[in-house]
Amino acid sequence: MTPHVAVTTCCEASSPRQAGPEQRPSDNVTRRSLLAAGGIGAVGALLPGVPAAAQSEPVLAAAPKRGAAVVLLGTQGGPPPNPDRAGIATALTVDGATYLVDAGRMAVSQYVAVGLAWADLRAVFVTHLHADHVAELFQIFLLGGFQAPGQGDTLTGPIPVYGPGAAGGLAPPFGGGQRPTTNPGDPTPGLAGFFEHASAAFAYSTNVFMRDSGIRETRSLAAVHELAPPAGASYQDTAPAMAPFTVMEDDRVRVTAVLVPHGPVFPAFAYRFETDYGAVTFSGDTTAHANLVRLAHGSNVLVHEAINVQGWAGPAAIKDHLLQGHVEVQKVGAVAQSAGAEHLVLSHIGDMAEPRLNEAKWRRWAQRGYTGRVTVGRDRGIVPVR
């Protein structure tokens, strides 16, 4: 079967709209009623967080079936395995439908642990292709789609996956000099290349299961949509000023995106989801940037990455490199305030200075310059959109 690969460009959207509070439907007018009427990676060792037993607020065990909620499947930033936090992965549930943003280490297990069903997965969104964001991306389909239809909970069919295309080139090594290059024939594959290479790596397992158990071909379960950046954007100019563009829309959500700066990584996206219950924006990995503020304007919930380097005595070059791709927790509140976001939720958490996250300190830091509510994210934490 020929895999589906599509390219979505910023120009496919009709005029991008700035979805501030004044543009939301009233409480008695829903997205579905409008539609029916014809309207509308961090680099470096990011360290452990607080174990669940030591946390001051409860962590819910199961995702809600009604309304809209952000489900924090994993909240750790960076690739190193951590016994206290799973890798970065977040779900948005809207009236029983699930939309997944990134799929880091343990994403498959966490998805099941909070009671999400594979049959309810509507779409997957990838912010960028750092390993800590895609460590289990292919496994969502390899394992979540393992059951044959009718034999148990399984993916219902080809699931759209939206995310970066090929970067087109590698930035010079940080600090200069020479570095080895993996896969020099295709050193910067995009989302389509990611799935093709992963499918080939698991070909033997897939072929055996298809012959012995009637399991579906894994690659065919992912309908890949590579998002084409606007003209002028490149691995040398990763996040020029831009308006949000439409990624997809269905009966529950409208998703828009912008490019954000994440060091040498390109493309890197932030996503906004408009729902009947309010708007949720996911920053992805980024420094403070006007593109993100514009996208997140008036959001009910802003899920934003954060790091701490205060008190860390590591090499100045690594600190500088980290700050080229992340926002310090002491400055993230100013980003949320500029965006007018009601609720700031910290995820992709990394504290370089302390082996155990001081949650109260992080909350105070994030509150600087911000008048809204702050939540320091925890694995399996559930945040209602309203």
d(CA 121, CA 144): 10
Six-digit token string for 139: 């496994």
Residues comprising the chain, all counted: 386
On whether the pTM is more than 0.85, the answer is yes
Which residues, in sequence order, are CB contacts of 97 under 8 Å at separation 6+?
A: 120, 122, 252
Q: Which of 371, 339, 107 is CA-nearest to residue 327? A: 339
Q: Chain-centre distance of CA 57, in angstroms?
A: 24
Across the range 122-148, mean pLDDT stands at: 96
Task: Give the CA distances from residue 315 to residues 215, 308, 309, 318, 319, in Å, rounded to whole numbers and listed in that order.
Answer: 50, 14, 11, 5, 6
Q: What one-character-per-residue DSSP string does 96-160 give?
A: TEEEEE---TTHHHHHHHTT--GGGEEEEE-S---HHHHTTHHHHHHHHT-SPTTSSS---S-EE
**Could you tell me which residue, 181 or 59, shows the higher pLDDT?**
181
d(CA 23, CA 220): 38
In the predicted structure, residue 62 carries a pLDDT above the cut 80:
no
Across the range 81-100, mean pLDDT stands at: 96
Across the range 252-258, mean pLDDT stands at: 98
Strand partners of residue 254: 249, 274
Across the range 244-267, mean pLDDT stands at: 97
Across the range 268-289, mean pLDDT stands at: 98
Query: Is 35 within the bounds of a domain?
Result: no
pLDDT in tens, 24-55: 333 333 444 333 333 323 332 232 333 333 33
CATH, residue 332: 3.60.15.10
In the predicted structure, residue 11 carries a pLDDT above the cut 80:
no
Across the range 123-150, mean pLDDT stands at: 95
Sheet holding 245-249, edge to edge: 245-249, 254-259, 269-275, 278-282, 301-308, 343-351, 373-376
Residue 308's pLDDT is what? Answer: 96
**Could you tell me which residue, 332 or 83, shows the higher pLDDT?**
332
- Confidence band (pLDDT; 50, 70, 90) for 2? very low
Percent of the chain past pLDDT 90, that is, above it, reads 73
d(CA 273, CA 68): 11
Query: Is 7 within the bounds of a domain?
Result: no
Sheet holding 159-164, edge to edge: 5-9, 222-228, 159-164, 121-125, 97-101, 89-94, 68-74, 381-384
Residue 20's pLDDT is what? Answer: 40
- Confidence band (pLDDT; 50, 70, 90) for 217? very high
Residue 56's pLDDT is what? Answer: 38
Query: Is 12 within the bounds of a domain?
Result: no
**Could you tell me which residue, 152 or 345, shows the higher pLDDT?**
345
In the predicted structure, residue 322 carries a pLDDT above the cut 50:
yes
Domain extent at residue 161: 41-171+188-384
Across the range 87-112, mean pLDDT stands at: 98
**Number of separate domains in the chain:** 1
Across the range 209-224, mean pLDDT stands at: 92
Six-digit token string for 222: 């992912």
- Confidence band (pLDDT; 50, 70, 90) for 7? low
Across the range 176-181, mean pLDDT stands at: 88
In the predicted structure, residue 129 carries a pLDDT above the cut 80:
yes
pLDDT in tens, 360-378: 999 999 999 999 999 999 9
- Range with the poorest average pLDDT among 41-55, 119-133, 259-273, 321-335: 41-55
Residue 295's pLDDT is what? Answer: 98
- Confidence band (pLDDT; 50, 70, 90) for 316? confident
Q: How many CB atoms lie within 10 A of CB 120?
A: 18
Across the range 230-252, mean pLDDT stands at: 96
Which residues, in sequence order, are CB contacts of 221 under 8 Å at separation 6+?
A: 141, 145, 155, 157, 158, 159
Whole-angstrom Cα Rg for the chain: 20
Task: Give the CA distances from residue 356 to residues 112, 162, 268, in Å, rounded to whole numbers and listed in that order.
Answer: 27, 34, 29
Query: Is 23 within the bounds of a domain?
Result: no
Across the range 5-25, mean pLDDT stands at: 45
Query: Is 282 within the bounds of a domain?
Result: yes
pLDDT averaged over every residue in the chain: 86
- Range with the poorest average pLDDT among 132-146, 170-184, 243-257: 170-184
Helix, strand, or coil here: 254?
strand
- Do 261 and 40 contact (CB within 8 A), yes or no? no
In the predicted structure, residue 96 carries a pLDDT above the cut 70:
yes
Query: Is 292 within the bounds of a domain?
Result: yes
Give the type of residue at 262.
Answer: H
Residue 5's pLDDT is what? Answer: 64
Residue 321, exposed/middle/buried by CB under 10 A (0-12, 13-18, 19+)?
A: middle
- The helix (H) or strand (E) run that includes residue 362 is helix 359-367
Residue 39's pLDDT is what? Answer: 30
Query: Is 138 within the bounds of a domain?
Result: yes
Query: Is 24 within the bounds of a domain?
Result: no
- Do 215 and 146 contact (CB within 8 A), yes or no? yes
- Do 187 and 170 contact (CB within 8 A), yes or no? yes
Residue 33's pLDDT is what? Answer: 38
d(CA 261, CA 42): 12
pLDDT in tens, 102-115: 999 999 999 999 99
- Confidence band (pLDDT; 50, 70, 90) for 61? low
Helix 191-201 to helix 203-213 angle, to the nearest 10 degrees?
60
Strand partners of residue 257: 245, 271
